[in-house]
Amino acid sequence: MSLLEVSGLNSFYGDSHVLFDVDLHVGRNEVVALLGRNGAGKSTTLKSLMGVVRPRSGHVRLDGAEIAGQPAHEIARLGMQLVHEERRIFGSLNVEENIILAGLTAPNRWPLERIYTMFPRLKERRESRGTDLSGGEQQMLAVARALVRDPKIVLLDEPFEGLAPVIVQDLMRTCRELAQAGQTIVLVEQNIAAALSLSDRVYIINNGHIAHEATPAELREAPEILQRYLGV
Amino acid sequence: MNRRHRPFVAEILTAIGLLVAPFVLRWLGVPPNTINPILIFGLLGIGFDLLFGFTGLLSFGQSAFFGSGGMVAAYVLTRTSMDNTLVALLVAAVASGVIGYLVGLVALRRTGIYFAMITVAIAEVFFFAEFNPLAHWTGGENGLPGVPTPNLRLGFTTIEFTTNEQMYWFFGACYFIGIVLALRIVRSPVGLILRAIRDNPLRASALGHNIHGYKLAVFIVAAIYTGIAGGLLGMMQGFMPPDAFKFETSGEIVMQTAIGGAGTLFGPLLGAAVWIYLSDLFKITLNLGAMWKLILGIVFVLLVMFLRRGIAGGLVDLWGLAAARLLPPRPARSGVEDAAAPPPAVLLPRARRGSGVGGPADEAPRTGTILRASDLSKRYGGIIANRNIDFEVDYGEIRGIIGPNGAGKSTFFKMLTCEVAPSSGTITFEGNDITGRDVSDVCQLGLTKSYQINQLFERLTVRQNLEIAALGVLRGTFRLDLLGSMSGVEGLDGHVAGTAALVNLTPRLDTAVSELAYGEKRRLEIGLALATAPSLLLLDEPLAGMSPGERVDTVALLKSIAKGRTMIIIDHDMDSLFELVNRVTVLQEGSILVEGTPDEIRADRRVQEAYLGGIEGESA
Amino acid sequence: MLSWGNFISQMFNGLVSGALLALIASGLTIIYGTLGVLNLAHGAMFMLGGYGGWIAYTYTGSYTVAVAAGTIFVLLVGVAMERGIIRHFYNRPPEDQLLVTFGLGIVFVEGVRLVFGSLIKMTPPPEIFRGITNLGFMVYPTYRIAALVIVVVALGALYLILYRTRIGMIVRAGIEDSTMVGSLGINVFKVFMLVFGIGAAAAGFAGIVNAPIVSIAPDVGDRYLVLTFVVVIIGGVGSFPGAVLGGLIAGQLLSLTSMIDPAYSEIVLFVAMTLVLMFRPRGLLGTAGRE
């Protein structure tokens, strides 16, 4: 059985129907990428999984437990974490407070030192308030906040967006280490090269539907598929 | 439609009600000194309902006007030689109007809870001013005694209203005039715009209405109603009590209106009746002195929780249910006439008001540049959303804008419509420099936008929505024809019918927006923008949130609209977008990457890279 | 008459009432900042604190017990109010929130009036704080000095709770972004309930501490509610430091003006509020945020 199984998921923003009968599954220790153009419904998929957007219908099973329709804090306790595209760092809290806050209700929690080993930069800036961090530091902190809860599955929404290439390289390395350590990840990313290099499997979303499923290798072989769904 | 089918029904029923009320109530054993305060609170409630129920401005400071109007009238009648009560009321009306204007200038700087807090604070100042600095004129805590009962000087004779029974007719007449005027206001174009402000102030402003002006106007109107009611209070009691200035008075007005039903005009009268009846019942009949206000408080809390539209709203809903049951094939509320009417001429007004600048389908289409943005940049704090954009669109062109996430498309659109001021650079529209202008002015000039997320007036019908948009073109940003009629707005019906036909909503004209399907709402969203008869129409993701079927329909709709118009469209659905547009501008990281025909863009390597993120760039 | 001694003692009066206002206003402002609800029953919380304390005092004769009982009582009222009613209003328009809290305020005031009558109730200061104290440069009622100290300590405690505890961390995070707090596994509804309780308790505490200075009556909170609005508008709605600054400014304006002419003190305060609205619409320490 897969760690995450999604079937017939429909989501709306107000009246606007955004996701249409989305089916997908993510195995344990797997890294799955969701690709698609802007507005295709990738972020909404992640938010619906996390319970930040409440799906109108469909099933989401995490490690066997039905989580569709549950409030976000329950889903978080069951072991899911979403790193939002906008990072949503608490600006009035300092780095360490952000991390501690995230870990407060976690059943298993990473020791702070493990976080700081992974992100030495955060250790240096542990006293700085969230508002004073650079974009890259904020992104590291957002990921750290998710990891401190030792989640079964992490959803990353465009983690590399708007970051300098050096920092993207850094974060890519971190993600790869995590994957090698067996962390299950769902990744939404516009940077297709990065997404393909990190993932084991790819779903392509188009206008709120799952349009295609493939491995990175298959997609490299058949760039016309990428062209069709993602290109111009 | 209502306004044409049942003229004066409300007025006639009110008149009949006021005429028979004293006899019915006498038969029921209700004394006239109960009914007179109900009329006074009903009258000031009309003004408050215009402010709160129709415009959405919840003021907790009406006591300032109630007290001021009352004190001014009482002062005129007791300290000057003037003893004509009508003149005193007129003076009170003017005074409270002026005070309303001044208070409105401060309070209307903010909305929502700030507005409520500011009105509370200002009213408290009036309370303190009455007691101390102005005590010489107001009698301080004694109030002004000796206010005469109402009279009517007709020149040849004078009618005095000295007993409670006689005063009833005077107050009843005042209430009747008040309700007739309020009904005119509600049915006037201004009345519709007020409801637009209540439902969606941002869109009302983007459709070319000066919402601040209208809010100030209705604030003053409410102050005048309240001030006159204050004047009547003094005449009824024979003295003007300083209690009128208390915060509790403001609270009572709010509670009575909410109990009776806001947004109904008659609700406050109903609420006042319940209020005063219960208070008499508890205090006199049941001898439960202090308890009545507690019971009313509990009733009020329960009403707010469960019966959101108050008693009058509940009655209207019941009536609707009963009518639906009794008359199963209920004719559309708008009436049969619309259905039977000949198909409307599918024409939008061609010439824009005033300037005489040619509209989109003008006889002699203009050529050249309609919009030019030069060196446009926008910074938010340290983040640069747009950088040095130079952009031009010609008359008759359909332009597409695409770009990956975060390319700055939305910010760019917001700058063009003046929702957001650029940090630097200029925007010229039809030869006018519109940089830093107000969004409503820009709409008046003929540049408007349909929104990515629907910005509709949810509590109104499709027709009313389109009327609100059309009124912006037909009346300009601000016109205070409070007593004008909708049918007096030349060309309005044709304009609305034409727009509705364009966006395929003619059969749904009298449906409430809240009942529309998403696709229909989306078409109405575009219809609102079209109804302003824009010379340049911006569409922000018109296909957002649509199912594949709806997309096909909407693309067809946009194609039909596009003929003879100038449009700029943002959308992510490139297949659909490229079908529609002549040229495409690609934004990336806040700047223009490239511009060209759809075919050129498809073939452009830089665009491919922007979208595919350099797929060969890195390999694991 | 204007004299140096008079001036100092008025400054001191201003400090006492300013600190009190700051405490009440911080309660209002953290509730608004976290939940987005403006509690028009906040004045009633102040009143309930006074009555709760007065009852406890009547039974025990202990000032300390009175303060503790009054505060805990209002904390519980606040929690119950959020749980039972306010929670159903988070998704309703702000006007409905104003109406329902306004109605609840009336229910509290009238309920108290029904049970205890309209007459004023006196809670005397504790034995050791009675009489007057010679401060060297002036003579001043001892309890007012004590009240100032107590309120400042309470403000400090509120500061410590907000800035030095995990609960405060959650509250501050919740003021910024309650959805994200939920995504991190924290039940925001529990947080909301707690914040509402703490905010109400701040007003209730002020109510009982103030009771020996100004005796209590059912409508004692009304005036404070209005003053609190002015304080948060001046300081910036949703900002704890703003509430403190606004309270201190308001206290000084009120007492210094009343030294010249008491009749104008509220008017001067209002003028100050108008000026702030004109030149800094978000308040002195307010940031961009909810409207």
Q: For A201-224, write each residue's pLDDT tens digit.
A: 999 998 889 999 999 999 988 888
Binned at pLDDT 50, 70 and 90, residue B380 comes out as: confident
Q: CA-to-CA distance for C48 and B36, rounded, in angstroms?
A: 36
Q: What is the mean pLDDT of residues B456-460?
A: 94
pLDDT at A12 over 60: yes
Contacts with B49 from chain C: Cβ below 8 Å: none
Cα separation, A7 vs C192, in Å, equals 34
Structure tokens at B138: 């107001």
In terms of Cβ atoms closer than 10 Å to its own Cβ (0-12, 13-18, 19+), residue B33 is: middle
3-state DSSP call for residue B48?
helix
Instruction: Assign C69 a pLDDT band (cuts: 50, 70, 90).
Output: very high
Q: Which long-range contacts (CB under 8 A, 24 or more apart) does A212-217 make?
A: A213/A24, A216/A33
Q: Predicted confidence band at A164 (pLDDT cuts at 50, 70, 90)?
A: confident
d(CA C278, CA C126): 45
Chain B positions in Cβ-Cβ contact with residue C242 (cut-off 8 Å): none
Alpha-carbon distance of B185 to B10, in angstroms, equals 14
> Is the same domain home to B246 and B100?
yes
For residues B516-523, average pLDDT: 88
Residue-wise pLDDT tens digits, B407-425: 888 889 999 999 999 999 9
Instruction: State the pLDDT at residue B339.
Output: 38
- Note the pLDDT of residue B441: 92
Whether the Cβ atoms of residue A27 and residue C158 lie closer than 8 Å to each other: no
Look at residue B616 in the predicted model and tell me its pLDDT: 47
For residue B277, what are the contacts with CB-CB under 8 A and spacing of at least 6? B30, B34
CA pair distance B372, B426, nearest whole angstrom: 8
Query: Tokens 């950088």 label which residue?
Result: B387
Q: pLDDT of B213-226, one tens digit each?
A: 999 999 999 999 99
Residues of B in contact with C94 (CB under 8 A): 112-113
Query: End-to-end alpha-carbon separation of chain C, Å?
Result: 44
Q: Determine, yes or no, domain membership for B344.
A: no
Q: What is the pLDDT of residues B526-570, one digit of tens each?
A: 999 999 999 999 999 998 877 777 888 889 989 988 888 899 999
Range scoring the smallest mean pLDDT among A13-17, B147-151, B593-597: A13-17
Identify the weakest region by mean pLDDT among B379-393, B499-513, C47-61, C240-254: B379-393
* pLDDT range class, residue A147, cuts 50, 70, 90: very high
Work out the pLDDT band at A62, boundaries 50, 70, 90. very high
B349 assigned to some structural domain = no
Percent of chain C past pLDDT 90, that is, above it, reads: 52
Q: Which amino acid is at B184?
A: R
Report CB contact under 8 Å: C183, A52: yes
Q: What is the largest CA-CA distance in chain C?
A: 62
pLDDT digits (tens, 9 = 90+) for B90-106: 999 999 999 999 999 98
Contact C185 A93 (CB under 8 A): no
pLDDT at C1: 52
pLDDT tens per residue, range C105-152: 999 999 999 999 888 888 888 888 888 888 777 788 889 899 999 999
Whether the CB-CB separation of B443 and B511 falls below 8 Å is answered with no
Q: What is the pLDDT of residue B470?
A: 94
| C94–B60 CB contact, under 8 Å | no
Rounded to the nearest angstrom, the gap between the alpha carbon of residue A50 and the centroid of all alpha carbons in its chain is: 10
Give the least confident one: B348-362, C41-55, C168-182. B348-362
| % of chain A exceeding 90 in pLDDT | 70
Domain residue spans in chain C? 15-219
pLDDT at C7: 84
CATH of the domain at B562: 3.40.50.300
Q: From CA B575, how far away is CA B318, in angstroms rounded?
A: 50
CATH number for the domain that contains residue B177: 1.10.3470
Asked if residue B379 and residue B264 are part of one domain, the reply reads: no
Q: Is the CB of C170 less than 8 angstroms away from the CB of A52?
A: no
**What pLDDT score was predicted for residue B82?**
83
* DSSP code per residue over A95-127: HHHHHHHHHTT-SS---HHHHHHH-HHHHHTTT
* Model pLDDT, residue A100: 95
pLDDT at B282: 79
Q: B168: pLDDT confidence band, cut at 50, 70 and 90?
A: very high
Order of all β-strands in the sheet with B591-596: B447-450, B536-540, B566-570, B398-402, B583-588, B591-596
CA distance B377 to B384: 8
The pLDDT of residue B3 is above 60: no
What is the C-alpha to C-alpha distance for residues C203 and C77, in angstroms, rounded to an integer?
12
Domains of chain A plus CATH, in order, are: 1-78+189-232 (3.40.50.300)
Interface of B with A (CB under 8 A): 402, 404-406, 453-454, 517-518, 521, 541, 544-548, 551, 572-574, 601-602, 604, 607-608, 611-620
The number of C-beta contacts closer than 8 angstroms across A and C is 66
% chain B with pLDDT above 90: 48
Q: Could you tell me if C243 lies within 8 Å of chain B, comparing CB atoms?
A: no
ipTM for the assembly? 0.90
Q: Are residues B135 and B282 in the same domain?
A: yes
Task: Count other Cβ atoms within 10 Å, centred on residue B557.
Answer: 18
Q: Is A143:A95 a contact under the CB 8 Å cutoff? A: no
Give me the domain span that covers residue B150.
32-295
Q: To the nearest whole angstrom, how far is the Cα of A73 from the nearest Cα of chain C?
A: 4
B neighbours by CB contacts (3+ pairs under 8 Å): A, C
The CA distances from residue B11 to B7, B178, B184, B221, B265, in Å, are: 9, 11, 10, 20, 12
Q: What's the pLDDT at B83?
A: 83
Residue C85: what pLDDT? Answer: 94
Q: Is the pLDDT of residue C94 over 70?
A: yes
Residue among C173, C179, C182 minimizing CB distance to A101: C173
pLDDT at res. C41: 95
- Give pLDDT, residue B32: 72
Tokens of C188: 């925001």
pLDDT at B293: 85
- Do residues B273 and B397 share a domain? no
Mean pLDDT across A188-205: 90
Whole-number pLDDT of residue B350: 42
Tokens in use for B319? 């009536």
Q: Tell me the C-alpha distance between B22 and B28, whole Å.
A: 10
CB contact under 8 Å between C229 and B117, yes or no, is: yes
Q: Is the pLDDT of residue B39 over 90?
A: yes
As for how many domains chain B has, the answer is 2
More confident residue, B9 or A22: A22
User: Among the three residues B245, B263, B295, which one is the final residue of a domain in this structure?
Assistant: B295
Q: What is the pLDDT of residue B361?
A: 45
